Amino acid sequence: MKDDILIVGAGVAGLMTAIELMQAGLKVRLYDTGQAGMESSWAGGGILSPIYPWHYPDAVNTLAHWGTQHYPDYFARLEADTGIDPQWLVSGHLILQTDINTPAIAQWAEQFSIRLEQLDQQQLRVIEPALNSKFDQALWLPEIGQIRNPRLVQALKAYAIKLGVTLSENTEVCRILYDADQVTGIETQTGQINGERVLIAAGAWSGQFTLGNRQLDVEPVKGQMIQFQTTPGTIKRITLNEGRYIIPRKDGKVLTGSTLEHSQFDKSIDDGSQQELHAFATAIYPALESALIINHWAGLRPGNERQTPYIGQHPEIKGLYFNTGHYRNGIILGLASARLCTDIITGNEPILPPEPYALN
Ligand SMILES: Cc1cc2nc3c(=O)[nH]c(=O)nc-3n(C[C@H](O)[C@H](O)[C@H](O)COP(=O)(O)OP(=O)(O)OC[C@H]3O[C@@H](n4cnc5c(N)ncnc54)[C@H](O)[C@@H]3O)c2cc1C
């Protein structure tokens, strides 16, 4: 039997959408150049909030808000059905040296019902005793959580396969095929596969496809990350300062990231960035000075200038859909994007107004 939809890319965007589509009754085949979930979705930090969310358009915060409401059940179901714990943890989020009275912050918090407090130096010491005492104020978002990326993608892959998604790894999609205004399939290194519906979820690579006379404005933005080993509980809170962050995992691993580099598809890491991230982290948490760096990696975010992902249907080519361009927020936006994309494909009532995400 022919697949109802072919998906290009098995990161969080492709996997989550495949799962939603299977649950909506479609037959799904998913392709990835490498192994599922091993690109940006593996490399990310897993903070379940945009960074400085009030700087983003409402369209992004609307998806994030929907995800925040639905993720707890989703993660529980994922673990129950796969036996893989994605380590969802509500560790709370400190945003240092930021004032709650900034009008944009107050407006965002009210619009999206975010619990928010201003902490002074003394209150900070209680919430996060390991913090360098030179910091004297912070925003505190106690309800913000994190997920552990490698475990999340492992669980999503297992769940997708369990639901019946056909996963073709190590299979690069070279071209999307269409005849006039209708998609007819895809071309891989090993041949053509016919299909009347194709979804592009190829992360940072999505801009490489020519789609009629359009191309998606999606470009890779490299992020390097380092990881320390500490005793569990040394640092407790996700901490953000001047655009960079520290994420403490349950087992004492502490992630620090990340750089923002426009270097095409180069994923190399360098000592200079490691030193910069180390200096950033130890200035905030002096306890990290004696901790070993046990890992250093880079991932390619699917960046786009309008800051809002592309979720929807191609305006001229029937059967061609996309769910991509999530930039720094693909994990927190993943579930709502997948559900919205599925609604658009199946013609169901969309969970959110789709217009802001359209390609136009
Ligand atoms: C350092 C870093 C930190 C981050 N931190 C956070 C965070 O804290 N919170 C958050 O929400 N987000 C974060 N992000 C962003 C988030 O990780 C991404 O937005 C998200 O993973 C994108 O998912 P994706 O599925 O679109 O892309 P990817 O995970 O990159 O998946 C795309 C897949 O498509 C495949 N592919 C590409 N081209 C083809 C082709 N031609 N044929 C077949 N397959 C193809 C690739 O092999 C890849 O597996 C971070 C990203 C980085 C790099």
Ligand 1 lined by 302 (C-beta under 6 Å):
yes
| pTM check: above 0.95 | yes
Ligand 1 lined by 223 (C-beta under 6 Å):
yes
Contact between residue 108 and residue 114 where contact means Cβ atoms under 8 Å apart = yes
**CATH of the domain spanning 5-81+149-217+306-357, picked from 3.50.50.60, 3.40.190.10, 3.30.70.100, 3.30.70.2190:** 3.50.50.60
Q: What residues contact residue 213 under an 8 Å CB cut-off, 6+ apart?
A: none
**CATH of the domain spanning 90-143+219-303, picked from 3.40.50.10490, 3.30.1330.100, 3.30.9.10, 2.40.37.10:** 3.30.9.10
From the number of C-beta atoms within 10 Å of its C-beta (0-12, 13-18, 19+), residue 87 rates as buried
The Å distance, Cα 110 to ligand 1 centre, comes to 30
pLDDT at 215: 86
Alpha carbon distance 140, 95 (integer Å): 7
The Å distance, Cα 52 to ligand 1 centre, comes to 20
Measured from the Cα of 32, ligand 1's closest atom is: 44
Measured from the Cα of 325, ligand 1's closest atom is: 26
Q: Where are the domains of the chain?
A: 5-81+149-217+306-357, 90-143+219-303
The Å distance, Cα 217 to ligand 1 centre, comes to 15
Alpha carbon distance 130, 332 (integer Å): 27
pLDDT at 306: 92
**CA angle (282, 285, 288) in 5-degree steps:** 60
The Å distance, Cα 204 to ligand 1 centre, comes to 7
Q: What residues contact residue 297 under an 8 Å CB cut-off, 6+ apart?
A: 43, 224, 225, 269
The Å distance, Cα 329 to ligand 1 centre, comes to 10
Query: Mean pLDDT for each consecutive 10-residue tract of the chain (360 residues)?
Result: 89 98 98 98 98 96 98 98 98 93 93 95 96 95 98 98 98 96 95 97 96 91 98 98 97 97 97 98 98 98 96 96 98 98 98 96
Alpha carbon distance 47, 221 (integer Å): 18
* C-alpha pair distances (Å), 18 with each of 27, 39, 46, 209: 9, 17, 20, 20
Alpha carbon distance 249, 240 (integer Å): 15
Ligand 1 atom 50 nearest Cα: 44
Q: What residues contact residue 122 under an 8 Å CB cut-off, 6+ apart?
A: none
Q: Which among 354, 280, 285, 281 has a CA at the least distance from the CA of 321?
A: 354
Q: Which among 270, 263, 272 has a CA at the least distance from the CA of 297?
A: 270
pLDDT at 98: 87
Match 């490498």 to its residue by tokens: 34
pLDDT at 214: 86
pLDDT at 99: 86
Cβ neighbours, 10 Å, residue 283: 14
pLDDT at 1: 55
Measured from the Cα of 173, ligand 1's closest atom is: 42
Ligand 1 atom 21 nearest Cα: 41
The Å distance, Cα 319 to ligand 1 centre, comes to 23
Q: What is the DSSP string of 27-94?
A: -EEEE-SSSTT-SHHHHS--BSS-SSGGGS-HHHHHHHHHHHHHHHHHHHHHHHHHS-----B---EE
Cβ neighbours, 10 Å, residue 174: 12
